[in-house]
Amino acid sequence: MRQIAANVFGFSGWMMGRAYAIVDADGITLVDTGLQPAAAKIVKQLAVHGYRPPDIKRILITHAHPDHIGGLPELERLSGAVVYASAREKPVVEGREKSVYPPRETLSGIARLMAHDAELQPGTPVDAIIGEGDVIPALGGLRVIETPGHTAGHLAFWQPQPQQIEHHIPAKKNAALEPEIICFGHGSPLKNNAAAALQTFARRVANPTEKET
């Protein structure tokens, strides 16, 4: 577990997906849970810093692909944490619908294989439905932003104070937020010139034929 920003930590040690821990006085908020084997790794890495599963109070789900909810059943069982997800992702998290993926031709590697073999995931009850403008009681107030695209019910979480966290950012909608730090669902967090990089990406998405100057 490595520190990304004040009270924000990232986990490591698995091939797909990312998960993050927000540490507050009342306990820990997890953002996503990785694949199923990641649950044990999250517990182990938290233990190194003196935390036990019951210290996990909230689990926020960005979207219901297996590499983001695979560890959820075990972590919820161990911690009793409140599980948050969007209304569109709820039936997948609860094991009542299959994961929905972008078109297979846009995917590669393991993601393409997972999309081909999509099946019902082990269900975990969603305790709280969240959507645009809701505020999670973590990191001084973590605002929910609906970011459909990767999945229909995809969510991002935004902290507008100087200690900023963003998860799974769509280009145009959130570029105006000018984040200092971006924590992705895949790949390493972006800590240097994050706002400029996001704005550049947003322009490229909006104008894919525009040449870089």
Q: Per-residue pLDDT tens for 76-122? A: 999 999 999 999 999 999 999 988 776 666 666 666 666 656 678 88
The Cα–Cα gap between 185 and 174 comes to: 16
The Cα–Cα gap between 158 and 1 comes to: 21
Top-confidence residue, 58 or 199:
58
Tokens 């790949």 belong to 187
What are the residues whose beta carbons fall under 8 Å from the beta carbon of 37, sequence distance 6 or more?
14, 70, 71
The Cα–Cα gap between 130 and 115 comes to: 26
Tokens of 135: 């505020």
Tokens of 162: 């100087």
Tokens 């269900």 belong to 123
Which residue type does 183 have?
C
DSSP label of 182: B
Tell me the pTM. 0.75
Answer whether residue 204 shows pLDDT above 90.
Answer: no
If you average pLDDT over residues 179-183, what whole number do you get? 68
Tokens of 48: 């190194």
Cα distances (Å, whole numbers) of residue 212 to 174, 190, 196: 21, 21, 14
Task: Give the right CATH number for 2-159 from 3.90.1150.10, 2.60.40.1080, 3.40.50.11540, 3.60.15.10.
Answer: 3.60.15.10
Which residue ranges make up each domain of the chain? Answer: 2-159
Answer whether residue 186 shows pLDDT above 60.
Answer: no
Name the pLDDT band for 180 (thresholds 50, 70, 90): low
Which residue type does 195 have?
A
Answer whether residue 32 shows pLDDT above 80.
Answer: yes
The Cα–Cα gap between 88 and 66 comes to: 16
- Return the pLDDT at 213: 43
If you average pLDDT over residues 197-213, what whole number do you get? 57
Tokens 């990406």 belong to 201
